[in-house]
Structure 1
Amino acid sequence: MKHDKKQHQIKKKIWKMPFLVDELFKDEDWRKFDGMAMEEPVPTETMKTLIQTAIQNQEKAQDRKELRRYRLVKLLRYSAAAAILLFFSFHFVTWWTKDSVVQPNVLRSAAKSVVEHKDTVWTSIENKNPRSIILDLPDGSHVRLFAQSHIRYVKNFVDNARDIELTGKAYFDVASDPKRPFSVLASGTKTTALGTSFTINTKLKHKAVTVALHTGKVLVSSLKNRFKQVFLADPGQKLTVDARGATKIDVVNKEKTLSMPGLSAPALLKLKNTPMPAVLQALEAAFKKQIHLGDKGIAAIHYTGEIDVHHDSLKDILTTICLINELRFVANADGSYTLYKQENTITEHLNN
């Protein structure tokens, strides 16, 4: 059985590699060979031995060739894998380093500081109306969002901070909360306050940004270290930051009077559930300006709060009153003001 199997293997090898016959038996040997003298139809033992030896040598040579080829392919695969790993490792480190440098510290604390997890719920509001709208934030703060402006914040804010992104112009009346600073991120600046009111405008020429302080104090810093921190502590100050990071502080002219009958300086009006007509009469006396009611229903509104006519301008005071009561005012050509009901409230805006 083994003999037949070997013969079959020999025939198979010769069929696949006919050159073995030429190598083992030269032309001269073939010419001398007498096929009729063979007693058997199969090769002689000598021929079988020679063929087997040649086959074994060919197999060993083939095995060595295959082994070298396998080792070469394996080496190339490892080299390619190492090169790919090195390539991606380098680009990953480059990306990570770039991301860490570009992203400001504030982006790791709130709003954009939450690092935009997939489950983060954002509240985004854009005012496409020609007039400003009044927004009530979850923390009790109020925003007057001017036309063609946009704000975005994490719904209900986040754990330890209240951060808002602004594009355009907005007035902020911040609810006091010392444990949770209130910050507005706008055009590379960050304005932080605990409880105050201020206006930020990014809609100026040459990419300039202004921060106007109305009440309280604010700290303005750069998200990209383009300028040193600026502290605004006097209401009426306005900071301007240009595209190069240069800063300038101006004092806004105020419509105010330093004397008011029956009141000593500072002229602080403490009002509690006071009818709106009485509030406006006091303001008319303090600023020598007429204030009209554009809607009769405004007369039924009662106002509670403090008004400092010594430090606050009439426009700032009216802005605060309108924010709280969902009103708006218009400056007339004769210098007077008229109050109207706010038609574009946050509720109407969200329903559109």
Structure 2
Amino acid sequence: MSVSDELLDRYFKGQCSAEEKLLVSDYLSKIDDLPDHLLSKADWDETTDAGIDNAKSEEMFTAVKKQTLAKVYRLKWIKLTSAAAVVLAVLFVALFNWKNSPSDLNLAENKISNLKDANAISWKSITNYTENNQSFTLPDSSIVSIFPGAELRYAVPFVKNKREVYLNGKSFFQVAKDSKHPFVVYAKGISTTALGTSFTITALGKSKFIKVQLHTGKVLVKNIDSVHRIALFNEVLLPGKELVYNSQINKVKVSDSRTLVRKENVIRELNFTQAPLVDVFHKLEKHYHVKITYDRADIAEMSFTGSLKLTQSIASILEEIAELNKLNQTKTAEGYLIRK
């Protein structure tokens, strides 16, 4: 079906009858574009907008506004809900961390404290590489004479519930008295426990025999290696007694010792490293059985480092110490007086 240009022109100008309008409308619904010559630029410029009455315009505006605001409000509500959810999540995490942080902090502090405690313990080893006995003073003031080739180990700090040392070889012990902290020597599977006494232990590396000789006081000797031994033993030694343990056949023999203190066990020298003079004088008093009088305030800041040969007289030793520290030494009826 075709429509004349004249009819189309009259249709757009609103001059068609009702039948012509239906005819043109049907035609226009079946085509995509109008011919370019139907509407010139001058005609387009003269074309006016179609008028809509106020009531219809207000109705259309209300409908559009309702749909637009609904979408805006819905979008705002979604945004507000999302923001609220984020804030609540942050508050929950902060509250959880606040409740748990003290215990976690305490746990971390405890772990650090335990680690520090574990790292605070160290081991000290003393080995005699010389051909002569060497005398050492332990932190509790006990004196040990270590024989050639022997090794002594102990933990630092030394005193806890008990004083413990580990021996490989032969040593003489003169234990300082301390009833609250037993002194224990471990050597090749046996332990020797004392409170304040003197004894000698021989536990050579390649020997099957372990020997404990008691000189003064009382000690308890027992087997602590229950894994490789057939039976355990506990022996209390009195002065002059000697225990010999055969580790190969698990046999113990207690007999009289030949001498209470053998000549080889006699301490020949005292070694000091930054030792306070009070401690030095105390050991000299104990060894020489003399009274050394002094004012503690005078020697409070003084110390001594070196070896004192105990084959010397006490007078010559004190003279040497006094000269080094610019002190005066005087012989008295009871012993010696040291002063500034």
TM-score relative to the length of structure 1: 0.40
Structure of higher RCO (CA pairs closer than 8 Å, 6+ residues apart): 1
Q: Please say which structure displays the higher CA radius of gyration.
A: 2
